[in-house]
């Protein structure tokens, strides 16, 4: 070969090598960024080219799909969408997805690597590709009771219910809510609906998942945590010994008396009596006597200060460090900086009901292929042990007194042992706005098992202030949720 030809051959070889390098760079090094590029419509078209799998409750789908015109062949539909939105989230051709629809998107679209074998078999047999299913732990009757109760109450609010022995989430309701079906389509068809759901255009903020993502001052429901701390640290060893609590009680390093609601018997009250009538002075003094460090340690055992993943993220509940004794006293009755999500307070009730063991909360029981083969199953997992079994049983007896003969009597259920705690939490600068009404509870059946623990919070701006109480507004909703779970197991 003469010299000019050899140079041309080398040059052509270099061109081919350059093309091969570029091709491999695009296919491998840049594959993910190109796939996720919002301008790459092929990915979105492929995502909606096949039927999406279902989210399942009690063996029945609460989602579906329907064919549409245009590039995107299928779009998501929802059954009782507003009721289930805090569980499912939404998936939209225009606005993306959130919550379970986003977290389990790979399973639902059929693109998850764990579906490779199933997809390969379907391809060989000529069967069209389908998404897998997400089987939840939710109880349909409990969810309906929770949502209907919130809707009937009006205002805003949320409910979380847990099975104490496993951590399974049985209900997760938020109100006001929205129907994800109205935003499942394209930007042109659903743009108005999307705008109406945004907080800047809608003060009700219906897309806020109040059961997981909102934290409220828990008020007197936090006294359950304070009582647990008193028992666990040996400040008191039983429910019925006098606490030597004065009345009035002046908070340390101040001249400010901590007030009780009304003329209730709080002087030298026992823990049981203090919880029954909800004495601020007794539990404020308990928190102050224990100190910030011990109170924070106990709150953390119940899950405070950390986000929870169910797998949907729940905002971290708050109990502060570095507080002085008076601030610790206020925080120990659920005020000052203390704040909790409804899920968090359901976890508190759940741990007490489960003899002191807190199970990690979760709402996905199983992932399946479209033909119902199991891909992954969730195993219940112990999260922490906030109380010994002995102290948990003492606290159970105290909470049961609250319902039998105290502020929680609206949660009584015939033939069922119910433990609970009411709460009315201050809201706004100098308590200027309507307070939040709380109730947390659990139910025990004849065999001694506790199938459900519940937390309810109500924020009603239009209610008459003097009519707002945890026992009046929130306890009846908790009762209906507990009854729904118990009846569903018969």
Q: DSSP per residue over 134-192, as a string?
A: EEE---HHHHHHHHHHHHHH-SEEEEEEE-TTT-BEEEEEEES---GGGGSS-HHHHHH
Q: Which of 220, 350, 469, 480 is catalytic?
A: 220
What pLDDT score does 40 carry?
63
Q: How far apart are CA 313 and CA 382, in angstroms?
A: 18
Q: What pLDDT shows up at residue 311?
A: 97
The proportion of the chain whose per-residue pLDDT surpasses 90, expressed as a percent, equals 71
Mean pLDDT of 393-397: 98
Q: Is 355 left (phi over 0), alpha (psi -120 to 50) or beta?
A: left
> What mean pLDDT is reported for the chain?
90
pLDDT for the residue numbered 32: 60
Closest by Cα among 364, 419, 417 to 394: 419
For the chain, give the percent of residues with pLDDT over 70. Answer: 91
- Asked if residue 465 has pLDDT above 50, the reply is no
The length of the chain in residues reads 490
pLDDT band at 357 (very low <50, low <70, confident <90, very high): very high
- The continuous run of DSSP H or E covering 45 comes out as helix 41-47
- Residue 86 CB-half CA count within 13 A: 32
Note the pLDDT tens digit of each residue in 238-288: 999 999 999 999 999 999 999 998 889 999 999 999 999 999 999 999 999
Residue 220 falls in the annotated catalytic set: yes
- Domains belonging to the chain, first-starting first, are 219-363+382-488 (3.40.710.10)
Strand partners, 421: 440
Instruction: Give this prediction's pTM.
Output: 0.89
């Amino acid at each position: 070969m003469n010299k000019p030809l050899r140079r041309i051959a080398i040059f052509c070889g270099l061109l081919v090598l350059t093309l091969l390098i570029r091709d491999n760079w695009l296919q491998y090094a840049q594959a993910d960024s190109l796939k996720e590029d919002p301008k790459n419509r092929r990915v979105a078209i492929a995502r909606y080219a096949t039927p999406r799998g279902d989210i399942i409750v009690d063996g029945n789908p609460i989602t579906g799909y329907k064919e549409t015109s245009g590039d995107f062949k299928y779009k998501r539909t929802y059954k009782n969408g507003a009721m289930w939105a805090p569980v499912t989230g939404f998936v939209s051709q225009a606005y993306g997805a959130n919550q379970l629809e986003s977290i389990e998107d790979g399973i639902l679209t059929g693109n998850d690597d764990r579906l490779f074998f199933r997809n390969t078999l379907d391809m060989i047999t000529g069967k069209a590709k389908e998404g897998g299913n997400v089987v939840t732990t939710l109880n349909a009757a409990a969810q309906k009771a929770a949502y209907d109760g919130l809707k009937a109450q009006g205002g805003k609010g949320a409910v979380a219910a847990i099975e104490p022995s496993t951590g399974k989430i049985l209900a997760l309701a938020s109100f006001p809510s929205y129907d994800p079906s109205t935003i499942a389509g394209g930007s042109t068809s659903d743009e108005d609906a999307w705008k109406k759901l945004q907080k800047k255009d809608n003060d009700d903020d219906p897309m806020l998942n109040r059961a997981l993502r909102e934290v409220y001052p828990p008020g007197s429901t936090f006294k359950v945590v304070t009582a647990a701390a008193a028992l666990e640290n040996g400040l008191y060893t039983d429910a019925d010994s006098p606490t030597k609590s004065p009345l009035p009680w002046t908070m340390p390093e101040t001249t400010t008396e901590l007030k009780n609601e009304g003329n209730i018997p709080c002087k030298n009250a026992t823990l049981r009596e203090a919880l029954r009538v909800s004495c601020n002075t007794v539990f404020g003094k308990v928190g102050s006597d224990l100190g910030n460090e011990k109170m924070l340690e106990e709150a953390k055992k119940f899950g405070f200060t950390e986000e929870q993943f169910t797998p949907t993220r729940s905002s971290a509940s708050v109990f502060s460090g570095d507080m002085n004794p008076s601030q610790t006293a206020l925080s120990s009755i659920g005020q000052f900086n203390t704040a909790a999500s409804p899920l968090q307070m359901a976890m508190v009730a759940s741990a007490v009901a489960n003899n002191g063991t807190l199970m990690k909360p979760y709402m996905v029981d199983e992932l399946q292929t479209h033909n119902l083969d199991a891909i992954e199953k969730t195993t219940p997992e112990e999260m922490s042990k906030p109380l010994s079994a002995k102290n948990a049983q003492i606290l159970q007896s105290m909470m049961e007194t609250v319902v039998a003969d105290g502020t929680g009597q609206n949660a009584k259920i015939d033939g069922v042992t119910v433990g609970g705690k009411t709460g009315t939490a201050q809201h706004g600068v100098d308590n200027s706005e309507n307070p939040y009404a709380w109730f947390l509870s659990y139910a025990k059946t004849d065999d001694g098992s506790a199938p459900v623990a519940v937390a309810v919070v109500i924020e009603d701006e239009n209610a008459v202030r003097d009519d707002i109480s945890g026992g009046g507004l929130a306890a009846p909703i908790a009762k209906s949720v507990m009854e729904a779970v118990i009846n569903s197991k018969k």
